[in-house]
Amino acid sequence: MAVVLDRDARVVAVAATGAYGRAQIEFMQSAGTNVVAMVALGRGGQQQGAVPVFDTVAQAVAETDANAAMIYAPAPGVRSALIECADAGIGLAVAAAEYVPLHDTLYAVAYARERGMHVVGPNTAGMASPGQAMLGAVNPSFTRPGKIGLMGRSGTLTLVIARLLSQAGIGQSSVIHIGGDSVIGTNPDQWLELFDQDEETSAVIYLGEIGGLKEFVLAERVSSAGKPVASLIVGRNAPAQKQMGHAGALIGSDRETASAKQDAMREAGATICNSPDAVVEFARAHQ
């Protein structure tokens, strides 16, 4: 009941040092995450609590068999951190930073895909497979184990819907904030394919927004999905040419409006939800 991230994940925390790093590691551990290593150049050989520190991701992987990474590097360091993780054989990397330069993301994401590494973000609150593991800042109290796959472009909306589902007694297989930037690592159509292949995910909820064309590519995949898909697209009253919230939420053409995306998802066979309550009702009927 998990997509990509599960209880077998052995996590290396990259650039999570000092009081901030300790807090982040403890938060992930509270969700069941097995953090086996940290990477901080120049601090190799030290310990942060019970977690050993290495100078490079490759050293951490060689010593601890780490297979996932949580990257806390600032925006200018995300490109090199993602490349380092991909070169070390990491299978899943989550990049939290906002304001990563666009061309850095383009290069690093292409590099990661060539090496089979899933990337969540940049500009993400992270992901969680409830009861198993969490990478980032998805509060464990907001989630519960179950069969609904949840993914979204807005971190706040993704966490709100996860919490509403949990309060309604509806569990999730995985909760993924895919990232708020215009270019991200793994796109919604790719996540849908993974959810569709997961035998213990019964239905998928997508939380979209204005800006970009990701929803149109997703719609093509929805039409062939073997599981029910619901879509909530926010920003229906957003003005054109005005950025709303973060980098990816900017209407540049009529196709990038919420209504156009809703129409595409509806034509592909998705259930269109116009409120969080409607999303909960969809999940209740398909859990």
User: Would you please indicate which residues are annotated as catalytic (active-site) residues?
Assistant: 246
Main-chain dihedrals φ then ψ at residue 73, nearest 5 degrees: -60, 145
- In 3D space, the residue among 154, 152, 128 whose CA is nearest the CA of residue 142 turns out to be 128
User: Where are the alpha helices (H) located in 34-187, listed in sequence order?
Assistant: 57-64, 78-87, 102-114, 155-167
Measured between alpha carbons, how far is 110 from 179 in angstroms, rounded to an integer? 16
149 strand-pairing partners: 174, 204
Rg (C-alpha) for the chain, rounded Å, is 18
Query: Is residue 155 a contact partner of residue 128, using CB atoms and an 8 Å limit?
Result: no
- On whether the CB atoms of residues 267 and 218 are closer than 8 A, the answer is no
Q: Which residue from 78, 14, 88, 83 is spatially nearest to 51, judged by alpha carbons?
A: 14
Identity (one letter) of the amino acid at 134? M
At what angle are helices 78-87 and 102-114 packed, to 10 degrees?
10
Distance of CA 111 to the CA centre of its chain: 18
Main-chain phi, psi angles of 11, to 5 degrees: -100, 135
Q: What is the DSSP letter of 236?
A: T
Contact assessment for residue 39 and residue 54, using Cβ atoms and an 8 Å cutoff: yes
Phi, psi of 51, deg, nearest 5: -100, 125
Backbone angles phi, psi at 70, to 5 degrees: -110, 115
